[in-house]
Structure 1
Amino acid sequence: MRKKPLIGTCAAAFFGAVALTGLAASPAGATGAEAQAKAPKAPTFEGTVALSNCSGSVVKMPNSKPEDKALVMSNGHCLEEGMPGAGEVIVDKPTNRDFTLLKADGSDAGQISSEKIAYATMTDTDVSLYEATSTYKEIEDKYGLKALELDAEHPAKGNKITVVSGYWKETYSCAAEDFVHQLKEGDWTWKDSIRYTADCKIKGGTSGSPVIDDASGKVVGVNNTMNESGEECTMNNPCEVDENGETTVRQGIGYGQQTYLIAPCVAEGNKIDLGREGCALPKP
């Protein structure tokens, strides 16, 4: 996690990557038109946002309604108030923060603001959810932009993914190589993290970028870190710890945190309810 400013005044602590893959290979005997129809549409910048120091996205849950206040997702370490400590969970904290909405081509569409941090933590995962002052319908009516849909299912190993950085207006293509039992960095430990293949050359400022499954177009993770210099379990150098306690360092490899765990914790009206059945997010 980097706290020092990066190019473009980025004070992001961690890293993120955005992947744009090409069209899927044509099945044997398929015509060009059939192959194009079956190929997944590459993710665009629509639904993503730029923060002052990180990336993020406007996300909707399976039960979200157009009249609900929109949720903006980024990393817990991207909070303007500073990074939450190990074991700390923030819920319903009033805050005013601006987010720049992006059009599909990456150009600026306008701004929305938050009224509170609905949820944030760096324990077990690294996520922040802001409640915006605007509803999904208001955003779509004013800017013509739709939110990204959060996948309520665990992502699949080997799937092609795209991490879309609103801060840099860049994308990085790779695959979900595997899932890590525990990922440790400094004082923090994250569980079941997504390990990217080496194709995702992420950098500071892409922290908080949505990790999008190319086939479904749904958000399956939030990008947060990479091992920069090969050190073991230090800041900016996360290490993997398996079920037997064995530690592995993979220099230059990036990671994201899965987001399917969020869906069961969001009740009617897009409100965070950590006591809801099936909710496994850390509690205060």
Structure 2
Amino acid sequence: MRKPLVAALFALVIAGAGAAPAVAAPAQEAGGTASAQETASAAPALQAVDFAGTVALSNCSGSVVRLPGSADSDPALVLSNGHCLETGFPSPGQVIVNKASSRTFGLLNSAGTRVATLQANRVVYSTMTDTDVTLYQLTRTYAQIKSSYGINALTLNDTHPAAGTPIKVVSGYWKRIYSCNVDGFAYRLKEGDWTWKDSLRYTSACDTIGGTSGSPVIDTATGKVVAVNNTGNEDGARCTVNNPCEVDASGNITVRKGINYAQQTYQIPACFAAGNQLDLNRSGCTLPKP
């Protein structure tokens, strides 16, 4: 799980931390066998991905997010990992809903500069069962954040991403952006006592480190959030903490040393009613219940 580690900080110093913080990775170019003009008209335009709307937590990354049906007047939400919850890791099978919280978040602008401190008033939802997600409700609305700081929330996509999709993982904690593609999906991802379903696997270029937990994973074609970054196999060990393993439908185990993962977020919008109100009994909601 991608919490901050002394080793991760040391690695950043040695490797140069991707050189300069607050500088987005270069956009990938569209390719193909068609003419340049045909390719330009057929390929989806890549969305500019920067730090606007991301947040830095005390020990993780996150982002201000909205649902496809959210109104500007709704209380804003912050997305991070279940294992970034301030009270500690939720136990296997544990689901936390509507719990008071006063956690604060450093809101970043497009350049990665902290422009505000946002505050939660509750944990709307948190679990490490089937997925690894925490959603906080803020004391301010989307409209208030936009009016004060000129920053829009990121939108959660409500459809399953596809293998091969170009993505960026945006860490507010490190002010670093990773660029890669969706390599595929793990039927089950097991790490220590926790098991996650249909986890998104990155290609090797997204070599995320401690502190990137909770970073939004953004589809560069749509600019929407498709997953939340959460873990990677550091040492090649099998199914241990910080060394998740993939388990297929037949129970076969695959270990991919150095490969990192995220948990998909397309399931989240179906579990919210108008006003950003959580309703785990809504039709189509598949998130685990308490």
- When normalised by structure 1's length, the TM-score is 0.92
> Is the alpha carbon distance of 1:167 and 1:247 closer, same or farther for their aligned partners in structure 2, counting shifts above 3 Å?
same
| 1:50-109 superposed Cα distances (whole Å, 9 cap, x missing partner) | 000000000000110000000000000001100000000000000101111111111111
Q: State the secondary structure of the residue aligned to 2:148.
A: helix
Aligned residues of 1:264 and 1:277 also touching (Cα < 8 A): yes
TM-superposed CA distance for 1:39, in Å, is 2.9
1:244 equivalent in structure 2: 250
Distance 2:26 2:58 in 1: 24
Residues 248-272 of structure 1 deviation map (CA, whole Å, 9 limit, x = unaligned): 0000000000000001001110011
Residue aligned with 2:167, SS: strand
**Structure 1 portions without partners, runs of 5+:** 9-17
Give the Cα separation in 1 of the matches to 2:110 and 2:56: 13
Residues 1:49 and 2:55 are matched in the alignment: yes
Q: Could you tell me how far apart the structure 2 residues matched to 1:238 and 1:39 are?
A: 35
Give the match for residue 30 of structure 1: 37
Give the Cα separation in 1 of the matches to 2:279 and 2:38.
49
Does the 8 Å contact 2:237/2:255 carry over to 1? yes
User: Could you say what secondary structure the match of 2:239 adopts?
Assistant: coil
The runs of 5 or more residues in structure 2 that have no matched partner are 10-23
Provide closer, same or farther for how the CA distance between residues 213 and 20 of structure 1 changes in structure 2, counting only shifts above 3 A: farther
| Cα distance change on mapping 1:107 and 1:54 into 2, 3 Å | same
Instruction: Kindly tell me the number of residue pairs found equivalent between the two proteins.
Output: 275
Q: 1:13 maps to what in 2?
A: none
Stretches (4+) displaced over 2 A: 1-8, 18-27, 34-39
* Residue 175 of structure 2 corresponds to residue 140 of structure 1: no
> 2:276, 2:76 → 1: CA distance?
8
Q: Distance between the aligned counterparts of 2:111 and 2:48, measured in 1?
A: 12
For residue 269 of structure 1, give the secondary structure of its aligned residue in structure 2.
Answer: coil
2:177 is matched by which residue type in structure 1? T
Tell me the residue number matched to 1:94: 100
Query: For 1:117, which of 123, 127, 138 is the aligned residue?
Result: 123
Asked whether the equivalents of residues 4 and 210 of structure 2 are also in contact (C-alpha less than 8 Å), the reply is no
Q: Do the aligned partners of residues 98 and 277 (structure 1) sit closer, same or farther apart at CA in structure 2, a change above 3 Å counting?
A: same
Query: Which residue of structure 2 aligns with residue 11 of structure 1?
Result: none
Q: Does 1:272 align with 2:278?
A: yes
Q: 1:138 to 1:256 in 2, by over 3 A?
A: same
Give aligned-pair identity as a percent.
56
The aligned counterpart of 2:20 is: none
Superposition pairs of residues 59-70 of structure 1, within 5 angstroms? 59-70=65-76
CA contact 1:192–1:257 (8 Å) conserved in 2: yes
Give the alignment's Cα RMSD to 1 decimal: 2.1
Query: Is it true that 1:229 corresponds to 2:235 in the alignment?
Result: yes
Are the aligned partners of 1:50 and 1:100 in contact in 2 as well (CA < 8 Å)? yes
The structure with higher relative contact order (CA 8 Å, sep 6+) is: 1
SS at match of 2:186: strand
Counterpart Cα distance in 2 of 1:38 and 1:72: 28
